[in-house]
Structure 1
Amino acid sequence: MDEHVLAGYARPFRGKLYMHALGSHIPLRLSRSDDKFSWGFTPEDDWLQAGGQQDSLVMDFHFESRGENRLHYHISIPGNPETKKLGVSRNGYLGFYWYAEVTDFWKIEPLHLSAEGLLCHLRDHRGHRVGAIPDAPHHSGNKVYLLNVDEGQIVTFLLKPTN
């Protein structure tokens, strides 16, 4: 693994992830129960999605270890009094959990280090890459994508440290 990647990312840090598609950086957001016109089930907040008008949310990347070409992290949203941790639902969707015990780490697979940050794949603890599924219709009128490790178009991400 590149020594510059190790020096900048093989440590705990606070940062933002963006879905990198068609030459642009699409911010990540948390879902809200009023995002859809009709969910077909009782909606919940805090599924990780890509799209919208606001900047990506800030996340803490708690460095766990490294593999031959992967960096392992526990990912959370800073908060009081407890921290929301990134996990995967039974259907493969990414979401932040308050109370569920999230013990599995996430893998960052570095692809290219640039002046903007680290282009990478985000993988779950099994090594499955995160894909994007269009979430339509979306109440906001914006293009929004659900993130999933079992389905969807595999996407790359831009990881930008903020500290």
Structure 2
Amino acid sequence: MDEDIQAAFAMSFRARLYLRAVDRYIPLRLSRGSDKFSWGITPEDDWLQAGGRQDSPVMDFHYHSQTDDRLHYHISVPGRPQAKTLGISRNGYLGFYWHADVTDYWKIEPLELTDEGLVCHLRDHRGYRVGALEDTPHRNGDWVALLNVEEGQVCTFLLAPLD
């Protein structure tokens, strides 16, 4: 692994994560029970999605370990009244949990270090890359996609540490 990447990311830190598109970075969002998707699903709160008009939520990346080409973290969103940890549903969807015991770490596969942050693949503990399942059109007119490790178009992300 590149020494600059290791020096900057082989530790715990707070950051925002964005889906990388051809010409821009798309913020992530947490679902709300009031969301309604065109293909009939009504999600509960705190499923991790891409799209929307607000900035990505702040996330804590708790350093766990590393291999030659991956950095391992437990990922959580702070507060509300306690931190919620990123996990995977039985169907492979990404969501934040506080009642379920999430023990598996996430793998960051570094692709490129840029001025904005680290371009990477996000992988689950088994090594499956995160993909996007697009909801077109989402009822509010925004581009929105659910994130999943078992289906969808594989995505790259920007991991942007907060100062």
TM-score over 0.5 for the pair: yes
Give 1:61's aligned residue. 61
| Pairing of 1:1-163 with structure 2 (within 5 A) | 1-36=1-36, 40=40, 43-163=43-163
1:34 Cα deviation from its structure 2 partner:
1.2
User: 2: CA distance between counterparts of 1:109 and 1:118?
Assistant: 9
CA shift digits 1:93-122 (9 cap, x unpaired): 000011100000000000000001000000
The answer for unaligned runs of 5 or more in structure 2 is none
Question: RMSD over aligned Cα, in angstroms?
Answer: 1.4
SS of the residue aligned with 1:138? Answer: coil
Deviations 1:29-87 (A, max 9, x none): 00111111677566411100000111111000000000110000000001143210000
**Number of residue pairs matched?**
163
Q: How high is the TM-score relative to the length of structure 1?
A: 0.95
Q: Distance in 1 between matches of 2:23 and 2:86?
A: 26
Q: CA–CA distance in 2 between the matches of 1:61 and 1:30?
A: 17
What letter matches 1:74 in structure 2?
A: H
CA contact (8 A) 2:10 2:71 kept: yes
Runs of 4+ in 1 over 2 A off after TM superposition: 37-43
Contact 2:38-2:137 at 8 Å conserved across structures: no
SS across alignment from 1:5 = helix
Q: In structure 2, how many angstroms separate the alpha carbons of the residues matched to 1:37 and 1:4?
A: 41
Percentage of pairs with the same residue: 67
Separation (CA, whole Å) in 2 of partners of 1:31 and 1:80? 15
